A and B are shown apart, each in its own frame.
Chain A
Amino acid sequence: MTIEADAGSAPVPGLVSRLFAGHLGPITVVVLAIVVIWYAGAVYMNAPRQIEVFNRAQTDWGAADLIEGTLAQDRPILPAPHQILVEMKKTIIDKKITSKRSLVFHAWVTLSSTLLGFVAGAVLGILLAVGIVHVGALEKSLMPWIISSQTIPILAIAPMVVVVLGAIGLKGLVPKAIISAYLCFFPVTIGMVKGLRSPDLLQMDLLRTYSASSWQTFWKLRWPASVPFLFTSLKVAVAISLVGAIVGELPTGAQGGLGARLLAGSYYGQTIQIWSALFTAAALAASLVALVGVIERLAVRAMGGRR
């Protein structure tokens, strides 16, 4: 908004400078730079092995051959971006989605436990926050433990949780979802405690003069006031929920999921497969966060917010 307003009052700038005044231009340049560096890195890191290959075949090679060879290796140390994109196209678009080799299938496995854990964690987080805001003793006794619960590297013991829960017959979706939920509830609780306390003293006093019950105060003041906080924490929560699901899939011999894909790739040295799983996970995370952002905008508009 402000940028446009400034641009309107100033003498009309050229296209280039207008493009670079916003975020789009700089981001494009930075991304392009990263891609260029990536290609250079791929050539540099894959070169020794390529030279070895050339020497073994006793062929003459020039710089062009070397570059071409390094960017087309089967199991490169660092695959070039286009190799990853080709692999992703092969496993996302060309394969049937029911196939075990389809990344869509694996992404769906991960996504389902992510979403289940996300919903469970968010509900738990909100309930805890409501309890903490309304019961004084709960705040003092529980809050320090909620904070220190996050210093336990749950992500690191996630595989154990999965194995142990598997031993009592909880298999598949649920153990991963529990890990996601454990990671999720924390930002939601913290954000919601802040949000439910965000109405200022004047507004609370007004409701008291209306002799509103704490139930009415909650629904008419605290809850609406906390919605922006809720969505901010939900964005954080959905991202770490995905991380939790992926790590939960790691060492359990899970058959499906992006984490299983990563592990299989690392066992067999299939670097391209690892990277394509990583890219898919990144795309998934970005779209989940974006989705929460869209819902936020809709919710705020429905509530008549001014954002």
Chain B
Amino acid sequence: MRLAFNPWMAASAVLAVTALLFPLGAGEIPLAWFDLPGLSVFVLAFAAACAWLARGKIRGLPLGLILLGAVFIGGAAALYLLYRAGAGGEARLGFWLFVFALWAAAWCGLDAIAGFASLNRLAQRGVDLLVPLLFGCWLVFLWEAVTVGFGVPQVLLPSPSMIAVRLAGSLDILAADFHQTFVKAVISGFAIGCGSGFAAAILVDRVPFLKRGLLPLGNLVSALPIVGMAPIMVMWFGFDWQSKAAVVVIMTFFPMLVNTLTGLNAAGALERDLMRSYGAKYWQTLILLRLPAAMPFIFNALKINSTLAMIGAIVAEFFGTPIVGMGFRISTEVGRLNVDMVWAEIVMAALAGSAFYGAMALCERAVTFWHPSYRQRR
């Protein structure tokens, strides 16, 4: 096997060695590497390991796993430098070069792991999950290093650790907001909006005239800024969750209508002719052929709507709300410059949104398992 020189690893080694030449922090007592002999030895070892790996003798998954471990320990060392050794807020070139060295190693490791291909489905699945997870962990680490290292004001961008502390400390408030916005407004609005959109599509589908008239209009309405209806809905339905649910209903109705209408036409002419030759009634054709064929489109709408619903409910809360709810909390805490609380709400909204989306995607996989996009492996 040809040995392939790995430029990323070489870069990592060079960066790590150069880092040792520069000061670490510039507090009242400037911090340098020779103040921390243990860490300096570790960085040297890291650089040496990288230089050795750069020869390309080890590659693929083993390389990835070795680097994963090295970067993990290196990241811990960087965090130690920030919090314990006092480089936080005043980090200098030496620290950042070390972070860059870690970055190069992390990228290389990720690349090596991502290149893993196996016929074993479980192993492949695990690696495919691992790569984005590691990437996410790296991003969070980078975020932490930058915010703490540069001493970014908390108002601008709090560090992940700060957000986590705030999140853990105010679970009761977050739970109340979640209940108000998600459980009450989003779920009910989503159910009503998608349900009525679906029912309307079935009705409209029976009248070709209406279908020709409504489909282009529905497409147009889907492109319109419907969130703007929020103040009107608040005026009509009051401040509580009903008005938010109403916004969600009108936001989710049209994507559902349009997608279901398109989906009902998705069954091929051949299959339809077959049903006709069996003498199938309208309802039989609908339930046995056209609805299953429409399912990918319907789930597409459900997935689009799951994010739209969250947005609609939270935006509607900007226009008036009782003193609970995610949108309310975001707008008031911004006013008080409690940005870490806002970020805690954002994390929760993102988790709820992802879980909602993920639930829809799982249902889709279970219902439309026959679809080529799932049958085919990559």
> A and B: partners?
yes
- Which A residues contact B (CB, under 8 angstroms)? 20, 22-23, 25-31, 77, 136-137, 139-145, 148, 150-153, 155-157, 159-160, 163-164, 167-168, 235-236, 239, 242-243, 246-247, 250-251, 258-259, 262-263, 265-266, 269, 271, 274-275, 277-278, 281-282, 285-286, 289
Report the minimal beta-carbon distance from A68 to chain B, rounded to whole angstroms: 23
User: Quick one: which of B131, B217, B306, B327 contacts A141, CB cutoff 8 A?
Assistant: B131
* Nearest CB of chain A from residue B29's CB, rounded to whole Å: 30
Taking a contact as CB atoms closer than 8 A, the residue among B156, B225, B232, B314 that contacts A153 in the complex is B314
Q: Is the CB of B220 within 8 A of A286?
A: yes
Residues in A whose Cβ lies below 8 Å from that of B231: 262-263, 265-266, 274
Given contact pairs A164-B339, A262-B231, A282-B224, enumerate 20 new A-B contacts (beta carbons under 8 Å): A26-B212, A137-B107, A140-B131, A140-B132, A142-B132, A145-B135, A151-B354, A153-B311, A156-B327, A157-B314, A159-B331, A160-B330, A160-B339, A243-B225, A263-B319, A266-B235, A266-B319, A271-B232, A282-B225, A285-B224
Instruction: Give B109 Cβ to nearest chain A Cβ, in Å.
Output: 10
27 contacts across the A-B interface (CB closer than 8 A): A26-B211, A26-B213, A30-B210, A30-B217, A137-B107, A137-B110, A137-B111, A141-B110, A145-B139, A150-B307, A151-B310, A151-B353, A151-B357, A153-B349, A155-B314, A156-B311, A157-B314, A157-B342, A157-B349, A164-B156, A250-B318, A258-B228, A263-B319, A266-B319, A278-B225, A278-B229, A282-B225
Q: What is the count of residue pairs linking A and B with beta-carbon distances less than 8 angstroms?
A: 163
- In the complex, the answer to whether B115 meets A239 with C-beta atoms within 8 Å is no
Say if the beta carbon of B346 comes within 8 Å of chain A: yes
B: number of interface residues (CB 8 Å): 58
Q: 1/0 per position for B125-146, CB-CB distance to A under 8 A?
A: 0001001101110010000000
Taking CB atoms, residues of chain A closer than 8 Å to B139 are 145
A-B complex: 7 closest residue pairs judged by Cβ atoms: A26-B213, A266-B231, A156-B314, A30-B213, A141-B135, A151-B353, A144-B132
Interface of B is mostly: helix
Whole-angstrom distance between the Cβ of B34 and the nearest chain A Cβ? 36
* Docked-complex contact B350 and A137, CB < 8 angstroms: no
The distance from the CB of A150 to the nearest CB of chain B, in whole angstroms, is 6
Kindly state whether residue B334 has any CB partner on chain A within 8 Å: yes
Given contacts A152-B349, A157-B346, contact A269 B217 (CB under 8 A): no
Q: Which residues of A contact B334 (CB under 8 A)?
A: 159-160, 163-164
B57 CB to nearest chain A CB (Å): 20
Is there a chain A Cβ closer than 8 Å to B234's Cβ?
Answer: yes
- Name B's A-contacting residues (CB within 8 A): 107, 110-111, 114-115, 128, 131-132, 134-136, 139, 155-157, 209-214, 216-217, 220, 223-225, 227-229, 231-232, 234-236, 306-307, 310-311, 314-315, 318-320, 326-327, 330-331, 334, 339, 342, 346, 349-350, 353-354, 356-357
- With A and B bound together, what is the CA distance between A292 and B354 in angstroms? 31
Main secondary structure of the interface of A (DSSP, over half): helix
CA–CA, A247 and B346, complex, Å = 17
Chain B: CB-nearest residue to A281: B225
Chain A residues with CB under 8 Å of B234's CB are: 266
Do A141 and B114 touch (CB < 8 A)?
yes
Q: How far is the CA of A289 from the CA of B139 in the complex (A)?
A: 35
Residues of chain B contacted by A282 (CB below 8 angstroms): 224-225
Contacting residues, chain A, for B318 (C-beta < 8 A): 159, 250-251
Contact of A30 among B214, B229, B320, B339 (CB under 8 A): B214
A212 to chain B, nearest CB (A): 23
